[in-house]
Amino acid sequence: MNKIVKLSLVTAVAIAGLTTVNAASLEEAIKGVDVSGMMRYRYTDTKTKRAGSNQVNAYDIEINAKIPVNDSIKAVLKIDVGNGFRADDDSAKGANLSSRANPTNSTNALSLPNALVGVAIDRDGAGRAAADSDINVDIEDAYFLYTNANFVGSLGKQNIPGPHVDGAQGTGVVLTVPVGPVTLVGTYFNGTNIGAVNGPTSYLDVWQAAVMGSFGPVNADLWYAKVSERLNAYTLGLGGAVGPVALSARFSKKKFKTDQDNNANYKAINALKVTVAKINASVDLGAVSLSAGFAKTGIDNDFFQNGGIGGASIDANEDAKVNDFQLKQIAVATGMNDAKAFKVGVSFKPTSNITLGLDYLSASHKLRGATRLTANGNKRANTKVYKAKAKETVLSASYAMSKNFTISSYYSMAKNGNLNNNAYAGNRVNDSVTSVKTTQGRLELKYSF
């Protein structure tokens, strides 16, 4: 009976437009179906000093269904109803997330939500996100899952796995094979919603290979990703826990590989140095938890004027595990060149269902009056480099009213250096650095089933 109740949302979408439904056949069709999902509402208010404010209402409903086909195969379907949010993310799916709000110069500006990162599905005449909008219905996943004792395989429209992306989707195949103490993973996608990274990538082939395993208290993973005609990417992650202390570290590198047919500045692009190194630690002391982290980025992590580098990810996504070093507004790995950043946090649970949090992030990074490299890939002579600082403080609270319903909120205060870029002439650059101050508040209600 419980499954039938859960499926009411699924069937409401699936049978919309039909005039008759056979009750007996419907009950037989949903026999053994595993249904899960969530419904969420968010209100977000963002204010930028001397630049006005923006308020957005965002809704999302996700319904996942695993339907047995036979003993070895399941059909997997995911319906997404809403403004394009994922269940665990502050950002919109399929967007070039590295382009978060660049007040004046997108190469060096604060990585803040540009009109709430495209939360709304339309904009007014001034190009701002609408405060409230109608919602879309999308088939997000539609694939077949095969399982046996030797491997697991999936074929169809599905999420691209791995630390190089976060929420990107495509049509392809994923194979997972256990071999002794390790697991091997191989993926191939020939159509994706990956945004522009050195030009459009949606119709390019995406390949991945990985090995992962646990060795005593240490978990390790090594991933390689290739976007044909565009780039190669690598990442190595280590992590583990001893008692209440958990540690993790990751190093990621991306190397562009393109030619003149794809980009006239291919020599400069192929010479870019894009890396992210980070380490995180946490201590669980019962009612109180402490966390700290440090990250360092490469000197070209935000090279393009449109922010299209995307850090070490292959989809310009700051939430991908290779990039993820951020709070609510500042995302270090995708928006800052040659950055050094640290963050600390403390959370307190006065009761079993209430959590209070305080987090702080500080970073120093480089701003350039002109790109570091010329179109031929040579280092530009006498390019003036400015050092800027960024910081963000976040207060948060959540209340788990029940196991499946949570109310949460946060208030974020961010400040970052921004380059007011003037015309570049020869070896002379007449620029100045100003601070951009932005506050953001959010209220969220989430029901999971």
- Residue pLDDT, tens place only, 180-216: 999 999 999 988 887 655 555 556 889 999 999 999 9
Q: Give the DSSP letter of residue 204.
A: S
Nearest to residue 297, comparing CAs of 333, 263, 246, 329? 333
Whether the pLDDT of residue 432 is over 60: the answer is yes
The whole-angstrom separation of Cα 304 and Cα 291 is: 33
Whether the pLDDT of residue 68 is over 70: the answer is yes
Half-sphere exposure of 28 (CA within 13 A, CB side): 5
Fold classification of 32-448 is Porin (2.40.160)
The whole-angstrom separation of Cα 365 and Cα 386 is: 8
pLDDT band at 261 (very low <50, low <70, confident <90, very high): low
Whether the pLDDT of residue 387 is over 60: the answer is yes
Supply 411's token pair: 């208030």
The whole-angstrom separation of Cα 286 and Cα 349 is: 8
Whether the pLDDT of residue 31 is over 80: the answer is no
Helix (H/G/I), strand (E/B), else coil: 123? strand
In what helix (H) or strand (E) does residue 266 lie, and over which residues does it extend?
helix 266-270
- Pick the more confident residue, 132 or 70: 70
Q: Which residue has the tokens 């976040």?
A: 394
Helix (H/G/I), strand (E/B), else coil: 1? coil
Residue 404 CA from chain centroid, whole number: 24
pLDDT at position 284 is: 96
As a whole number, mean pLDDT of residues 239-262 equals 88
The whole-angstrom separation of Cα 323 and Cα 338 is: 14
3-state helix, strand, coil in the chain (%, to 5): 10, 55, 40
pLDDT at position 20 is: 46
In what helix (H) or strand (E) does residue 58 lie, and over which residues does it extend?
strand 52-68
pLDDT averaged over the chain? 78
pLDDT at position 100 is: 32
Whether the pLDDT of residue 117 is over 70: the answer is no
Whether the pLDDT of residue 424 is over 60: the answer is no
As a whole number, mean pLDDT of residues 313-338 equals 82
Whether the pLDDT of residue 350 is over 90: the answer is yes
Supply 51's token pair: 């630049």
Whether the pLDDT of residue 426 is over 90: the answer is no
Taking the model in full, what pTM does it have?
0.80
pLDDT at position 202 is: 58
Question: Over pLDDT 90: what percentage of the chain?
Answer: 44
